[in-house]
Structure 1
Amino acid sequence: MQIYAGKSAGCAPEVNQGQRVVRDMTDGLEGHTVTTDNFFTSYALAEELLKKKIALVGTIRRNKPELPPRLLQTRARAPRSSEFAFRKTTTAVSYVPKRGKNLLLLSTKHCEPAVSGEEHQKPVMIMDYNRCKGAVDNLDKVVGAYSCKRGTRRWPMALFYNLIDVSAFNAFVLWVAVEPSWNQEKTFKRRLFLEELGRMLVYPQMERRERLPHTPAAAAMVQSQRRAENSEASGSAEASGAAHDQRRRGCSFCTNKKRKISTTCSKCGIYICKEHALQFCSSCK
Structure 2
Amino acid sequence: MAEFTASRVAEAKRALDRIFAQPYARDTEDEDDRASEASEADDNGDRHDGSEGNESEHNDTFLSKDKKIEWSSVPLRDSDRVTVPQHLAGPTAEAKAGAQSILSSFLLFFTPELEQLVLAATNREGSRTRDSWKQMDVIDLRAYVGLLILAGVYRSRGEAAASLWDAECGRAIFRATMSLKDFYLRSKTLRFDDRESRAERHSDKLAAIREVWDMWRERLPALYVPGPEVTVDERMVPFKGRCAFRQYMPKKPARYGLKLWVLCDANSSYAWKMQEYMGRAGNAGARTTNLASQVVTSLTQGLEHRLVTCNNFFTSYELARSLLLKNITMLGTIRRNKPELPPESLSAFGREVFSTRFAFSDLVTLVSYVPRKNKTVLLLITKHSRPEVDETRRDKKPRAILDYNRTKGGVDNLDKLLAAYSCRRMTKRWPVAMFHNILDVSAFNAFVIWRETHPDWMPEKRNRRRLFLERLGKDLVTPLIMRRKHAPRAESARALIRTIRGPSPTVTPPRSEKRKRCQVCPREKDAKTHTVCTDCRKYICGKCTWPFCAECAGISSEDTGES
What TM-score does the superposition give when structure 2 sets the normalisation length? 0.31
Q: Which residue of 2 aligns with 1:86?
A: 359
Identity, in percent, stands at: 27
The structure 2 residue matched to 1:169, chosen from 428, 443, 448, is 448
Bigger mean CA offset, 36-45 vs 64-73:
64-73
CA distance in 2, matches of 1:72, 1:224: 69
Indicate the residue corresponding to 1:178 in structure 2. 456
Aligned pair in 2 of structure 1 residues 197, 64: CA closer, same or farther (>3 Å)? Answer: farther
C-alpha deviation, 1:124, in angstroms: 1.6
Closer, same or farther in 2 for the Cα pair 1:24/1:140, shift >3 Å?
same
Say whether the 8 Å CA contact 2:331–2:382 is kept in structure 1.
Answer: no
Describe how 1:47-86 pairs up with structure 2 within 5 A: 47-50=321-324, 52=325, 54=327, 56-60=329-333, 65=338, 81=354, 83-84=356-357, 86=359
CA distance in 2, matches of 1:13, 1:209: 39
- Answering whether residue 383 of structure 2 is matched by residue 109 of structure 1, we say yes
CA distance in 2 between counterparts of 1:61 and 1:134 reads 14
Q: How much has 1:40 moved relative to structure 2?
A: 5.2
Match of 1:228 in 2: 496
Bigger radius of gyration = 2
Q: Tell me whether 1:200 sits opposite 2:200 in the alignment.
A: no
**1:83–1:93: 8 Å Cα contact kept in structure 2?**
yes
1:37 lines up with 2:315 in the alignment: no
Residue by residue over 1:51-105, the C-alpha shift from the partner in whole angstroms, topping out at 9 and shown as x without a partner, is: x2746232246598468697699xx995xx3654635243333667799x99763
User: In the superposition, relative to structure 1, how do residues 159 and 58 fare at CA in structure 2: closer, same or farther (>3 Å)?
Assistant: farther
Task: Check whether the contact 2:369–2:378 (CA below 8 A) recurs between aligned residues.
Answer: yes
Q: How far apart are the structure 2 equivalents of 1:144 and 1:107?
A: 30
Q: How does 1:1-285 map to 2 (within 5 A)?
A: 1=84, 3-6=228-231, 7=263, 8-14=271-277, 15-21=292-298, 24-25=301-302, 32=305, 34-38=307-311, 41-50=315-324, 52=325, 54=327, 56-60=329-333, 65=338, 81=354, 83-84=356-357, 86=359, 88=361, 89-93=363-367, 105-119=379-393, 121-128=396-403, 133=407, 140=414, 143-144=417-418, 146-148=420-422, 150=424, 157=435, 158=437, 161-175=440-454, 177-180=455-458, 184=460, 186-205=461-480, 225=493, 227-230=495-498, 233=501, 236-237=503-504, 240-242=506-508, 267=535, 271=547
1:121-141: CA deviation from partner (whole Å, max 9, x where unpaired): 33122345578x589579637
| Amino acid paired to 1:126 | I
SS at match of 1:236: coil
Is 1:43–1:66's contact at 8 Å kept on the other side of the alignment?
A: no
Residue in 2 that maps onto 1:262: none
Unaligned runs of 5+ in 1: 213-218, 245-264, 278-285
Mapped to 1, the partners of 2:420 and 2:386 lie a distance apart of 40
Shift of 1:46: 0.6
Answer yes or no: is the 8 Å Cα contact 1:105–1:126 preserved in 2: yes
Q: Which runs of 5+ in 2 are unaligned?
A: 1-83, 86-227, 232-262, 264-270, 278-291, 511-532, 538-544, 554-563
Call closer, same or farther: CA 1:82–1:161 in 2, change over 3 Å.
farther
- Structure 1 residues 167, 95: CA separation in 2 closer, same or farther (over 3 Å shift)? farther
Measure, in 2, the Cα distance between the counterparts of 1:202 and 1:102. 55
Q: Structure 1 residue 35: deviation in Å?
A: 2.7
Is the 1:62–1:104 contact (alpha carbons within 8 Å) kept by the matching residues of 2? yes
Amino acid at match of 2:275: A
**Alpha carbons of 1:25 and 1:168: their partners in 2 closer, same or farther (altered >3 Å)?**
same
The answer to which of 86-95 and 162-171 deviates more is 86-95
Corresponding residue SS for 1:171 = helix
Cα deviations across residues 130-173 of structure 1 (Å, max 9, x unaligned)? Answer: 78x58957963773463437599679654663233221233245
Given that residues 149 and 161 in structure 1 are in contact (C-alpha distance below 8 angstroms), is that contact kept between their aligned partners in structure 2?
yes
Call closer, same or farther: CA 1:12–1:229 in 2, change over 3 Å: same
Query: Aligned partners of 2:368, 2:397: CA distance in 1, in Å?
Result: 10
Q: Distance in 2 between matches of 1:209 and 1:77?
A: 73
Which residue does the alignment assign to 1:260?
A: none
**CA contact under 8 A between 1:207 and 1:226: conserved in structure 2?**
no
Whether the aligned pair in 1 keeps the contact of 2:443 and 2:469 (CA below 8 Å) is no
| Aligned-partner residue type, residue 236 of structure 1 | P
**1:150/1:97 CA distance change after superposition, 3 Å:** farther
CA distance 1:139–1:55, change in 2 (3 Å): same
> CA 1:33–1:189 in 2, change beyond 3 Å: closer, same or farther?
closer
The residue type equivalent to 1:228 in the other structure is L
Distance 1:115 1:19, change over 3 A: same
Residue type matched to 2:364 in 1?
T
What SS does the aligned partner of 1:9 have?
strand
Asked whether the 8 Å contact 2:357–2:368 carries over to 1, the reply is: yes
Partner Cα separation in structure 2 for residue 49 and residue 140 of structure 1: 24
CA distance in 1, matches of 2:474, 2:378: 42
TM-score w.r.t. length of structure 1: 0.54
- Residues 159 and 190 (structure 1 numbering): CA distance in 2 closer, same or farther, change over 3 Å? closer
* 2:203 aligned partner: none
Q: CA separation of 1:60/1:231 partners in 2, compared to 1, >3 Å: closer, same or farther?
A: same
Instruction: Map Cα deviations across residues 29-60 of structure 1 (whole Å, 9 max, x no partner).
Output: 6xx5543333754332112234x274623224
